[in-house]
Amino acid sequence: MRAPSEPSPPSAEEARALVEQRAAALGFAAVGVARADVALEPEFARYEAALAAGLHGPLAYLAENVEARRRLDGADILVGARSVIVATVRYDQRDEYDGAPVPALAQGIARYARGRDYHNRIRKALRKLATFVRTLGDGVEARPMIDTAPVLERAWAARAGVGFLGKNGLIITPGQGSYALLGEVVTTLEITPDTPIEERCGQCTRCLDACPTRAFARPFVLDAGRCISTWTIEVAAASPEPLREAVSGRLFGCDVCQEVCPHNAKERPAGRFADTFAPHERWRRLELRDLARLGLADGPRWEELAEGTPLFRAGPAGLARNACLALGRAGDAGALPLLREIAREHPSDVVRDAASWAVARLSR
């Protein structure tokens, strides 16, 4: 029995207002709430259909823990979960910093990855939000997550009203666009859910039409086996020959489908996390040839180059492979001696293959 002087727990509506205030104070750009104890149905069916069609491509992990992705209130996420709070962190879309253009090397890196690794900083903010949620009732549990658990986070973000799902599969927040990362706090606390936002792409297909590899099977459905991000970040193997010309223009990830989106036409500030995403100074000191030498005896040290950045995910051979392809695409015949050396001596057959492709392209 609650003591007379002890305050009553907030109502579900009051809890939502309190969560919104705390999320804003922590620097999140948008926040929404969905019921965690109601499974995704149409969203999950679309996911299953994509898997059945093989659209996950070489990303085998997407076909793992499939049922866990349907619900949040089970043993895989949080038993007894009733609400999921979805929050966004904007990242920079600027092409200039302090009057200077983004370094040439950084222009081949997806905007979210040009600076420091975002995981630790956003995870800390989510933990603070989860800690706050636990204070809103006796025995309340809360689990923070950021792209590390088997959760269809974009589907939950759409259900929470954070934004709507664009035809490129990204969450678009009205008035803010799609340059944002998602994080969640799943909790046993009852919080009034938000209303989903209706899709606002209309007849626009700019994102689908602009994709260099034609990676969209249809609106809202991405073929991961054709996506540039897959072949520059996630997969250690050589990119398929039919895609190599298009893939060769990127070092790590791709922003094309966001760059052409009308919802991103207006440049918006990144907010409190802006310094996390500002291009690292190392990109002004390095050139493509430096990255291509990764793995050679006289090449740069991988740990020093990638420490504290998202580039660690690609690995040294992956980034050297991407740099070799980019050198071939750049048309710089002066890089031929280096590329021939890499094609002969690099310990990775994938990097040797990429260098050989670049040599052949530059020798045409």
Q: 82 and 189 in contact (C-beta within 8 Å)?
A: yes
Annotated catalytic residue, options 76, 92, 117, 147: 147
Helix or strand holding residue 189 (H, E): none
The gap from C-alpha 121 to its chain's centroid, in whole angstroms, comes to 15
DSSP 138: T
Write the CB contacts of 71 (distance below 8 Å, at least 6 apart in sequence).
Answer: 39, 40, 77
Q: 189 and 139 in contact (C-beta within 8 Å)?
A: no
Distance CA 8, CA 65 (A): 39
Sequence letter at residue 93: Q
Q: 97 and 35 in contact (C-beta within 8 Å)?
A: no
Distance CA 218, CA 197 (A): 21
Q: Any catalytic annotation for residue 147? A: yes
Q: 61 and 115 in contact (C-beta within 8 Å)?
A: no
Write the CB contacts of 266 (distance below 8 Å, at least 6 apart in sequence).
Answer: 177
Phi/psi for 229 (5° steps) reads -60, -35
Q: 144 and 126 in contact (C-beta within 8 Å)?
A: yes
Query: How far from 226 is each of 168, 217, 222, 250, CA to CA, in Å?
Result: 13, 10, 8, 14
Helix or strand holding residue 99 (H, E): none
Q: 252 and 291 in contact (C-beta within 8 Å)?
A: no
The catalytic site residues sit at 147
